[in-house]
Amino acid sequence: MTINERQDRIIEDFDGVDDWMDRYAMIIDLGNELPPIDPKYKTPQHLIEGCQSRVWLAASLNAEGRVEYTADSDAIIVKGIIALLIDVLNDQPPADIAAADLYFIDRIGLAENLSPTRSNGLLAMVRQMKLYAVAFQAKLDAEK
């Protein structure tokens, strides 16, 4: 599935849920399903700057040249948000991630229903995920 197909699926999943408490519950459930991060990544260099909560994010390039993310957070809502981002961006080519317009964030009302500090954290998570993708694309380009 492409990034946009994944975003459209998420929008469709959230479409039938009008109450934001129910949407938060969906986001928390996604966070609970997030595979555990390897403890070796729970280090200061993997912490995302700009998040009120602690969020660890690591990425690697798999054999097919696609980015694989792993993450964790000490806040249940934030863990769900990073799980949503991973759902959309994981196992995608780095160039596609770097160029992605993550329209699902606005379409499901996520940005407008977060506190200002959580919104800043969301932007910081997106920025870091895209920075990993840009770095991996540069590496791939250098190997050509």
> Which sequence positions are flagged as catalytic?
51
Question: Side-chain half-sphere of 113: how many Cα atoms within 13 Å?
Answer: 17
Pairwise CA distance, residues 42 & 44, whole Å: 7
For the stretch 48-52, contacts whose Cβ atoms lie closer than 8 Å and that sit 24 or more positions apart, written own/partner, are 48/121, 48/124, 48/125, 48/128, 49/124, 50/120, 50/121, 50/123, 50/124, 50/127, 51/78, 51/120, 51/121, 51/124, 51/125, 52/117, 52/118, 52/120, 52/121
